[in-house]
Amino acid sequence: MPASLNRLEPFTYGAIAIVGGALTAGVAYVTSPLVPFAVIAAAAVAILTAYWPLGTLYLAILAIPFKLVTIDFGGAGLSVAEALFVLSGVGWAVRRVISGSWPFVPSPLGRPYAFLLLAIIPGLLVAVHPFGVFKTLIMWTTFFLIYQMIVADGRRETVRTTLLLLAVSAALVGFLALVAPGTSQTEQLIGPGEVVEGRPGGSFQDPNILATFEALGLPAALALALGRRPALRIVGAGSFLFILIGLALSLSRGGFLAAAGALLVMLFWRPFRWAALVTLVIVLAFVTAGGNLFGDVQTANVSGRLQSVGYAASGGDPRFAIWRTTPTIIEDHPFFGIGENQFPDVALRYGLFAEVRGSYQHAHNIPLTIAAEMGLIGLTALTWVFVALIRVLVGAYRRTVGLDRGLVVAVGAAFAALTLQGMVDYTVSSNTVAAITFTLAACGVALWQAPPGSASVDLPAGAGPPKH
């Protein structure tokens, strides 16, 4: 380039900056100061998705704590995180098609997941409100594309980065539940502890979904805390602390059960055993001594909530009425079910009335809800997914060593937590929980398909875009 043109280059960039600034100021003046920033952010996300869909997935996980910020798409509200999950899956599929490849990668969970998605489709014909079925079908299909993306990537570095971001995101959710619980009421047990007033829902406005997400991030935080790098140990330990705070604030008995199950599964990883013992001693000492954690997490409430399990088990929990009635719904709609998200409407016909909302949103059990809404075909698909996932995780555990084995155990512990809470709740109705479920399943497959006996150097790696 001639020297004269080189001298003009800074002035050219300056002129572009001035024009861009003037346009931004003009748009902000005519509309709102946030509009130009939203446009710039949307353009940046679009470029990121086109170039690096996996990076959009990372951004989606980090955006989960800010789930209360929603975007309206034709009456269907999506959080920023949910929108980013959708963009990530769709962006990857478009890139695959443009490159001449089919957006489906053969894997042990590919067909079971596809069968589960197909089981949703008949609900479009039988549902009272088909839009609820359609929304779930679209969302779960994009989450399935995310699963395909991670499996196609196949790198353990991707798994490490994903688990790191999940732990950090769960810690932020716990922190926000502490400083901004979303309710002005103080947590208070009613009666034997079966009912609690003032339970914070945090980023999800639902304490049970809050507990589920924290339980899913708990194993990842532990895996980080036991890594080799001191900085990541600090991140993992800090994340673990705030995740425990989020769990305690939720006062979700299903969440407590899920966390306990995750910790038990983590015992399969030898480096974790001493850490588990120390953690258990600290928690027991704190609960025995009584008091508050950071002035908000009252151990008396936690203890009372745990003691209420006995009252619930004796038949005092309304879930027992739901569990007794739901098999009748399944019997009346055996093959295709009543349609996804239709349980609240149909349950009223069977005399299931909730005191607060008027109708129960689901059967408070994953297999029962799937069987009621997708029929026995959906339950068969769910069983297929469950069995295939266990085989993948067992195979990955046998094929890995060192810290990679810790990652496998962390993924398995997360699914153990989801399974245990799924016995008393149906938090996969949350798009965020469903997206993380598909993502963790893909992480398990990625660890399974790596060469046997290979070990990772440390946690994490490969956080940047793939090099071409």
Give the pLDDT confidence of 113-153 residue by residue, as tens digits: 999 999 999 999 988 889 989 999 999 999 999 999 999 99
| Res 331: pLDDT | 93
Top-confidence residue, 224 or 75? 224
What's the farthest any 2 CA atoms get from each other in the chain?
A: 87
pLDDT grade for 39, boundaries at 50, 70 and 90: low
| Res 380: pLDDT | 97
Residue 191 scores a pLDDT above 80: no
| Mean pLDDT across the chain | 79
Cβ contact 207:200 at 8 Å = yes
How far apart, in Å, are the Cα atoms of 249 and each of 48, 134, 298, 301, 415? Answer: 36, 34, 8, 9, 22
Residue 297 scores a pLDDT above 80: no
CA distance 99 to 117: 25
Cβ contact 338:352 at 8 Å = no
Top-confidence residue, 312 or 121? 121
| Res 99: pLDDT | 86
Cβ contact 113:144 at 8 Å = yes
Computed from CA positions of residues 288, 289, 290, 295, in that sequence, does the dihedral angle turn out positive or negative? negative
Mean pLDDT across 241-257: 84
Mean pLDDT across 148-161: 93
CA distance 390 to 424: 21
For the ranges 125-139, 272-286, 417-431, the lowest mean pLDDT is seen at: 272-286
Residues above pLDDT 90, as percent of the chain: 41
Tokens of 10: 């800074």
| Res 317: pLDDT | 66
pLDDT in tens, 355-379: 656 678 888 899 999 999 999 999 9
| Res 411: pLDDT | 96
Residue 42 scores a pLDDT above 80: no
Mean pLDDT across 326-344: 91
Q: Which residue's structure tokens are 């042990």?
A: 108
pLDDT grade for 181, boundaries at 50, 70 and 90: low
pLDDT grade for 41, boundaries at 50, 70 and 90: low
Backbone angles phi, psi at 22, to 5 degrees: -65, -45
pLDDT grade for 31, boundaries at 50, 70 and 90: low
Secondary-structure percent of the chain, ordered helix, strand, coil, rounded to 5: 70, 5, 25
Tokens of 84: 């980013």
Cis geometry, peptide bond prior to residue 130 (ω within 30 degrees of 0): no
| Res 461: pLDDT | 40
Q: Which helix (H) or strand (E) holds 435?
A: helix 431-449
CA distance 54 to 60: 10
pLDDT grade for 5, boundaries at 50, 70 and 90: very low
pLDDT grade for 354, boundaries at 50, 70 and 90: low
Mean pLDDT across 172-180: 86
Other CB atoms within 10 Å distance of the CB of residue 16: 10
| Res 444: pLDDT | 96
| Res 254: pLDDT | 81
| Res 117: pLDDT | 96
Q: Which helix (H) or strand (E) holds 370?
A: helix 366-399
Residue 405 scores a pLDDT above 60: yes
Other CB atoms within 10 Å distance of the CB of residue 358: 10
Cβ contact 120:411 at 8 Å = no
Coil, helix or strand at residue 170? helix
Cβ contact 408:254 at 8 Å = no
pLDDT grade for 66, boundaries at 50, 70 and 90: confident
One-letter amino acid of 37: F
Residues above pLDDT 70, as percent of the chain: 70
Residue 55 scores a pLDDT above 50: yes
Residue 460 scores a pLDDT above 50: no
Mean pLDDT across 425-447: 95
| Res 205: pLDDT | 78
User: Left (φ > 0), alpha (ψ -120 to 50) or beta: where does 294 sit?
Assistant: left
